[in-house]
Chain A
C-alpha cells in the first residue's frame, strides 16, 4: 500500500497485542449479510505510471487559447509568491484551528483575511470563507430572512445565473420565496419593478440582492436600490467581484448591509470551477447572524496577543439544528491565497489590476464595435460586457475552431430572452493583450465573411 508505514512485523506486533490472529477479527461486527469482499478497482498504480496518466489527462484539456471568457471566473496574473506560501505544509496539512495554542498561523491569517476584505468592502464583519460566490450569495439571502423574520427576497435576474439558481435551490428547500427582478434595456435592474415589488405589503421583503457589476458587466444604481430597500424595511445585499472594489464605491459607501462575492480573482487559479472562495461580509449589526467561522483577536493568560475562533454559538457543532448554517469545512486555504495575493500585490497593484482590465475592455469594445459588433447595453461597465452578433452560437463555434474563445453565448443562460439570444458576454483583464484583441477582431471578420 502506498504511504503506509507498517512492516509485516509491525502488523504482527499490533495483532499480538490485541490477541488476535488476523485483522479480519476486527471487522466481524459487520453483519455477514452486508459485509463486502473488496473493491473492484485496478491498481495500486506506481507513482511513475500514475504521473504519466495524469499528465496525459491534463494535456487533453486545451488551455492556451485566446480567451475572452469571464462570467464569474477570471484569468489574472498571480504572483508566484502566492503559491510559494500555499505549498507550505504547515498551512495546507492542518485543519480547522480547534486548538488555538498551536494554530496561531492559521488563525492570524484568517484575521488578516477578515481585515483585508473589510478594507475592500468597507464592512466590518467578514466570515472566514464560504464555498464559492454562489453559496455565499445564498447564505446572504438566508441571513436577510433570519434577520428580518420575513420570507421573501428579491434578486435581480442580472446576478450570475449560477448564483440565482443556487439560491433558488436553497430557498425551495426552506420553503422561502425568491422573486427575480427584471432588467432594463440598458442592462441595469429595473428599479421601478423593485419599488413595486417592495410595495406589496402582503409579502414583505427580507432582502434585495443586486450584482455589482452585474452579470452583464454593468454597474447598477446601488445607492438608489439601497434607499428603496431600506425604506421598505428590507436589507440590501451587494454581490460583488472583489477586484472591482479597488476602484468602485464600496458596499459600505452605498449603505449595503451584506456583501457576498466570488473571491477567485484574488489569486486563485481557475481549476475548472473550484476550489474558489465565497466572500461574505456584513455590518456590525448583523454579526450574530453571519454564518461561518469568525476569528477574533484576544490575549493569552500571559497577556500575549493571540487569535481564536469566536462567537461560536452561531455554529453547527454547538447549536446543531438552530445554527446559522450547516457549514463546517470551508475554503480556508483559498482565503489564505487571497490574503497573500492582496499583501503581495498591494493597493496600487490591485488598483492597476482593476483599471488595466477596464482599459483593455474598452480597447476590446472599440475593436469589436469597429468590426460591426456593438454592445448590447448602454449603461457603464468595468471590464466585462455583452455584444450583439447575429447567429452568436454559430459564430462562437467558428471562432473556437480558430482558437479564439469568444466569451459566453448568453443564450445558454437566458434561452427565453430574445434580447440575449444573439449575445456574447466577453471580458478583458490585465492579462489580455492588444495582440489577442486583434486576433479576435481578425478571426471575427473571417468567420463573418
Chain B
C-alpha cells in the first residue's frame, strides 16, 4: 500500500498549468491502483485479509481489531494543543525531585486518536446497539437529555469547593433529589454521597454500626445475608469489620424465616436483604422477616439493586427497612459507562438520621442552600469520599425522575415486571423455570435439563446468544441455582425485541439438541472467539511494554 501511495505522490506537477498531462497521469495511476493487490499474509475463509500480526481480519466497515496506542505511536506526532512552557518553568524544582525517566506516552495525531477509539467502540455491545438483558443490572435506555443536562456548563464547570453562594443551582438540585428519593422509598432522609451501590452498602452498614454503638450496644459483630445475595453484601460486611452469617433460601426462593430466626441474636448488627431478591422474587414474608430482625434488635438493610421492580408498589422505609441504597445507574437510567460511574445514594429511617455521612445539604431560613460544615454534626459517621458525590450522575438521575414523575415511575415498574413475566412465559418449556410464580422485573431460567440431555451448558447458551445479536443475560448468578440465567428485560424494550430474544433462546435450545458442537463453540460471529482466561490469570499481562525512549526531544 505504501508503494501505491508513493506512486501517486511522485506524479510530476507538470510545467505551467499542464492540466491535461496531469490528468492523464492521474488516470494511469488510478488504473494502477485498481489492479494492484495489497500484501497479504493469508486470507481467511471469507477472503478477508489478515495483517499477519495475530490480530485477525480487518474490514472496511464493521468491527476491526485495533493495535494499541503504543503501537500506533510515532515520535514527533501530535502537538499544538497547548503553548509550550517557558524553559525556566521548573527551575525551582530541585533536581532530585524531577522526573528522570522519559515520559513514554504515545504520540499520535488527533485523527489517529479519534479513529482508534471510534474503531474500539465498534468492538463493544451496548444498550444503544442492542438488547442487554443483564439480570440485576437494569440495562434500560439511557435518555439523551440526561447527557445534555449533565454537560450544561453551569453544572459541569462548578468547582466542588466553590463557596455555597456560587453553587445554589446544584445545591437546590441535590436537596430536591434527596427528597424525591425519600418519597420514592419511604425513607426519612437520604445522602447522595456514595459513588456506587457497594459504596452505599458500606455507608449504610457503617451507620448501623454507629447506631448500635451510640446505644452502648457493642456486642453486635455479625451481619446476616441470604445465600442468594450479591457478593457485595458479604464483602461490605467484612470491610465494616463484621463477620458474615449466610442463611439459606427456602424452597420457594424466599429467605427461610426459620433459618433467619435461628441465625438472629444479640450478636446480629444488621440483616442485608435484596427485595425483590436476586431470583426476581418478592419476599412474600417480608413483614415477618422484618419483625424478626427488629425483635433481635438488629437493623434491616435493603439492597436496592432491584428497586426497578417495585416503584410505586413497595416503599422499603414504610415497610420497616432502616436503611437502603439506591443504584441510580440502574433504577434511574444513568448510563453504566462500561463499568461505571454510578451513584449509590443511601436512604435511612429516623433512627439513623444522626449518623448520615457529612456534609449534608441544608436549607437556610431564607430559602438558600448550604453544605454542612466540617464537624457541625458530631454524630456523623464522617466522610465516605471526597467532595459531594458523583454529582454529574445525580444530575442525570434527577432529570430522569422529573421526566417521569410519580406516575411515570410506577408505570416503568409495571412495564418492567410485565415484560419479565411475558418473557418467562415464552421460555417455559424449553428452559427450566425453577421458581414458577409471578416474578418481578427479572427471572431465573436454567439450562439444567439442556445440559443433562445435550451437554450444552448455560455458558454455551449465553455465548450462542451473541451470534443471534443479543447480549447474554447474567449467568451463574445467583450461586444457589445451577446453570442459572438471570434475565432482566427492563421496561424500555419493545414487544418485538422481547419476542426476537425469546425466539433466539428457543432456537438455541433446538440447536443444542441437533448440533450441540455449534453451540459449544459459540460465538462464531464476534470480533474474537472464546478467550484463554487461564493463561491470562497465570501469566498476567496487565500493561504494554514500557515505551522507554519513545518521546522525541521537546519542541521549543
Contact = CB atoms under 8 A, between A and B. Distances in A.
A90 B408 contact: no
Given A6-B495, A43-B406, A246-B99, A85 B93 contact: no
Interface in A306-326: 306, 308, 310-313, 315-323, 325-326
B152 A73 contact: no
Contact of A270 (B158, B209, B407): B158
A209 to B, nearest CB: 15
B120 A349 contact: no
A355 B83 CA distance: 11
Q: Most chain-A CB neighbours within 10 Å: which of B66, B159, B419, B533? A: B159
Interface in A151-191: 160-163, 165-166, 168-170, 172-175
A142 B239 CA distance: 9
Interface string B377-413: 0000111111111111101000101111111111110
Contacts of A350: 103, 105
Q: Most chain-A CB neighbours within 10 Å: which of B170, B337, B531, B540? A: B337
Interface in B226-240: 230-232, 234-240
Interface string B11-24: 00000000000000
Nearest to A246: B103
Contact of A325 (B139, B235, B383): B235
A352 interface: yes
Interface residues of B, number: 217
Interface string B515-553: 000000001001111111101110011111011001100
Contacts of B329: 329
B61 interface: no
A274 B402 contact: no
Contact of A60 (B88, B172, B342): B172
Given A298-B532, A304-B528, A352-B83, A134 B125 contact: no
B159 A41 contact: no
Nearest to A38: B312
Contacts of A79: 81, 110
B163 A316 contact: no
B29 interface: no
Given A42-B405, A47-B403, A413-B374, A81 B173 contact: no
Contact of A249 (B83, B100, B391): B100
Interface string B117-160: 11011111111110010100101111101011111111111111
Q: Most chain-B CB neighbours within 10 Å: which of A95, A135, A169? A: A95
B339 A88 contact: no
Nearest to A125: B542
A412 B371 CA distance: 12
B82 interface: yes
B180 to A, nearest CB: 6
B417 interface: yes
Given A33-B287, A116-B105, A333-B341, A294 B126 contact: no
Contacts of A122: 101
Contact of B107 (A35, A100, A346): A346
Contacts of B320: 34
A353 to B, nearest CB: 7
Contact of B531 (A101, A160, A332, A413): A101
A102 B172 contact: no
A413 B314 CA distance: 42
Contact of A115 (B68, B86, B244, B373): B68
A265 B523 CA distance: 40
A435 interface: no
Given A356-B85, A359-B86, A329 B494 contact: no
Given A131-B385, A169-B383, A304-B529, 4 more contacts: A274-B392, A294-B542, A317-B477, A329-B339
